């Protein structure tokens, strides 16, 4: 396959394989060795580059999605003889020890400073939360970012690029597709239902590396306009296209105002470089017990629109996940949209997550709660939990226990007891039950 993209301002055309990682393409194909490999699965940030104005982990981007992109690597900022002011600030503040994490750190800092010229310490920590350093203890790095910002560092906005389909070789044309509309994608799948759907790509790279996935062919659906919608419908439903990314959810005023539980789940599901690629549909279709967004969607009463050639199905979110990594998708079917009923006035919702590291993808405990109230009485309740079993679960006993009861200490105590009895985590049950109960108490006391 041949792709053309822009790297550090130069247009490049390269021959590669469709699922070669951008990381390998940059390092081995273009000799840009500043982009490193650490974990290979989105946890360390040493492979971070800026692609179309967003920080991404190059280990999670298949080459076939880089056509037409504008990519900035550390080599594009400056070198030893002409360092960028941000690079200079890292040196002057002693933020570089072994240097392995430094290119990714600097690019994460640059992505932040493009958006927020004078970040607070908290904003800097969040922006760099997906980048691990084993030498500096981070404080020198935060000081370097602060120094660059205080000195007036104002990077020009990174290029946004445009989507350009690769030129597939004749043999690849049978197996790799970049359709331009949902109907075209459904036509392809109707005759080739075995193909793997490629969205944000945050699972495919790590799954291939771990040997869990050997795709025979791929349909890239990440840029289909029908899967990128995010709008409020006249019937008081929010429509979210399956390929809307976690970052786009967070940037949406509709999501922020109407669905704070979903906003929180998107914000806490991973570090910025992963959120910039991971999609809501991908998180649902991964059908993993540790996925965050499905937990919020269970509590918010989401339903899912599944499309296949000439057919549409609407499935409640709690029926979609049939088992671990088993979404209810029939051959030739695509999850197209997530539909969320706009909550009435007086309702309340929350999503809580506890894990070992704020930016780590996997939670240890997650709980989402939604209630409708009338004069201090709970008239409807939905609840979901994650990381308790192979799939996210809805909590019907807790919902029944809360519905119709007045808010107050007795109801809170009943709810805490009920969720602890209802959950049946396989690992660390005492810890997980205790935390889940505490989170329910926190929510009810906040009301
Ligand atoms: Fe660790 Fe890419 S190598 S995030
Ligand atoms: Fe060594 Fe960060 S400077 S890992």
**Spatial contact of 153 and 89, defined as CB atoms under 8 Å apart:** yes
Query: For residue 135, how far is its CA from the centre of ligand 2 (angstroms)?
Result: 4
- Checking DSSP bridges between strand 70-72 and strand 2-7, what pairing results, if any? parallel
Q: How far is CA 368 from CA 26, 105, 328, 384, 446, in A?
A: 40, 33, 22, 5, 14
Question: Which of ligand 1's atoms lies nearest the C-alpha of 130?
Answer: 4
pLDDT at 162: 86
The answer to whether the beta carbons of residues 306 and 285 sit under 8 Å apart is: no
Mutate to test the pocket of ligand 2, among 134, 137, 143, 144 (most ligand atoms within 8 A of CB): 134
For the question of whether the overall pTM of this predicted structure is more than 0.75, the answer is yes
Beta bridge partners of 319: none
Neighbours of 227 (CB within 10 A): 24
Question: What number does the ligand 2 atom closest to the CA of 96 have?
Answer: 3
Ligand nearest to the CA of 41: 1
Instruction: Classify burial at 83, counting beta carbons within 10 Å of its beta carbon; exposed 0-12, middle 13-18, buried 19 or more.
Output: middle
Cross-strand pairs, 196: 218
pLDDT at 396: 97
Chain centroid, CA 147 distance in Å: 30
Token representation of residue 224: 């289909």
Residue 57 CA to residue 35 CA, distance in Å, equals 10
**Residue 291 pLDDT:** 87
CA distance 85 to 117: 14
Q: What is the pLDDT of residue 361?
A: 60
CA of 357 to the centre of ligand 2 (A): 18
Whether 292 is in the pocket of ligand 1, judged by its Cβ within 6 Å, is: no
The CA 58 to ligand 1 mean position distance, Å, reads 7
Q: What angle do CA 163, 169, 172 make, to 5 degrees?
A: 85
- Judge if the beta carbon of residue 130 lies within 6 A of ligand 1: no
Ligand 2 mutation pick, 133, 138, 139, 145, max ligand atoms within 8 A of CB = 133
Residue that has been written with the tokens 């499309």 in this structure: 307
Compute, in degrees rounded to 10, the torsion defined by CA atoms 68, 240, 389, 412.
140
With a 6 Å cutoff on the Cβ, whether 189 touches ligand 2 is no
Nearest to 223 by CA among 288, 163, 156: 163
Contact assessment for residue 193 and residue 309, using Cβ atoms and an 8 Å cutoff:
no
* Backbone phi, psi, residue 224, to 5°: -70, 125
Q: Where are the alpha helices (DSSP H) in 78-162?
A: 85-92, 102-115, 121-127, 139-150
Is 131's C-beta closer than 6 angstroms to any atom of ligand 2? no
First vs last C-alpha separation in the chain: 57
Q: What is the C-alpha to C-alpha distance for residues 315 and 238, in angstroms, rounded to an integer? A: 16
- Ligand (nearest to CA of 131): 1
State the closest ligand 1 atom to the C-alpha of 23, by its place in the atom list counted from 1: 2
**Which residues have C-beta within 8 Å of that of residue 275, sequence separation ≥ 6?**
245, 246, 247, 250, 266, 267, 269
Residues of the chain with pLDDT under 70: 357-361
Strand order in the sheet with 365-374: 347-354, 365-374, 377-386, 393-394
**C-alpha to C-alpha distance for 315 and 394, rounded to whole angstroms:** 15
Which atom of ligand 1 lies nearest, measured to the CA of 42?
A: 4
Whole-angstrom distance, CA of residue 312 vs CA of residue 35: 43
Q: Which pair of structure tokens corresponds to residue 411?
A: 């109801």
Q: Whose CA is nearest to atom 1 of ligand 2?
A: 98
Return the residue whose CA atom lies nearest to atom 4 of ligand 1: 42
Beta-sheet pairing, 218-220 with 176-177: parallel
Ligand 1, residues 27, 41, 277: which to mutate, most atoms within 8 A of Cβ?
Answer: 41
For ligand 2, say whether the CB of 440 is within 6 Å of any of its atoms. Answer: no
């Amino acid at each position: 396959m041949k792709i053309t993209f822009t790297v550090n301002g130069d247009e490049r055309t390269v021959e590669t394989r469709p699922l070669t990682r951008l990381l390998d393409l940059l390092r081995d194909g273009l000799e840009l060795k500043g982009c490193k490999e650490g974990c290979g699965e989105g946890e360390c940030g040493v492979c971070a580059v800026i692609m179309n104005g967003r920080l991404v982990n190059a280990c999670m981007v298949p080459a076939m999605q880089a056509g037409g992109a504008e990519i900035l690597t550390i080599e594009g900022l400056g070198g030893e003889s002409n360092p960028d002011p941000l690079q200079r600030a890292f040196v002057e503040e002693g933020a570089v020890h072994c240097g392995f994490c430094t290119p990714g750190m600097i690019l994460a800092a640059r992505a932040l400073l493009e958006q927020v010229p004078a970040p607070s310490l908290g904003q800097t920590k969040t922006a760099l939360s997906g980048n691990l350093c084993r030498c500096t203890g981070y404080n020198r790095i935060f000081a370097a970012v602060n120094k660059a910002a205080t000195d007036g560092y104002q990077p020009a906005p990174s290029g946004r690029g445009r989507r350009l389909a690769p030129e597939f070789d004749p043999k690849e044309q049978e197996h790799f597709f970049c359709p331009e509309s949902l109907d075209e994608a459904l036509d392809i799948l109707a005759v080739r239902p075995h193909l793997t759907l490629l969205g944000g790509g945050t699972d495919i790279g790590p799954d291939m590396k771990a040997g869990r996935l050997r795709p025979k062919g791929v349909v890239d659906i990440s840029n289909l306009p029908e899967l990128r919608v995010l709008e409020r419908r006249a019937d008081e439903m929010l429509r979210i296209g399956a390929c809307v990314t976690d970052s786009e959810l967070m940037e949406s005023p509709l999501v922020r105002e109407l669905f704070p539980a979903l906003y929180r789940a998107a914000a806490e599901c991973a570090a910025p470089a992963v959120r910039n690629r991971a999609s809501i549909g991908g998180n649902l279709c991964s059908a993993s017990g540790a996925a965050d967004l499905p937990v919020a969607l269970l509590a918010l009463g989401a339903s899912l629109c599944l499309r296949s050639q000439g057919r549409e199905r609407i499935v409640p979110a709690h029926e979609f996940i049939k088992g671990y990594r088993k979404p209810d998708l029939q051959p030739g079917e695509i999850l197209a949209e997530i539909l969320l009923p706009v909550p009435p006035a007086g309702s309340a919702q929350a999503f809580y997550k506890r894990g070992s590291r704020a930016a780590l993808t996997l939670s240890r405990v997650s709980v989402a709660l939604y209630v409708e109230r009338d004069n201090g009485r709970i008239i409807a309740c939905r609840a979901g939990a994650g990381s308790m079993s192979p799939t996210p679960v809805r909590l019907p006993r807790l919902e029944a226990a809360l519905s119709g009861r007045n808010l107050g200490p007795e109801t809170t105590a009943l709810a805490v007891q009920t969720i602890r009895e209802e959950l049946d985590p396989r690992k660390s049950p005492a810890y997980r039950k205790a935390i889940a109960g505490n989170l329910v108490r926190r929510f009810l006391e906040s009301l």
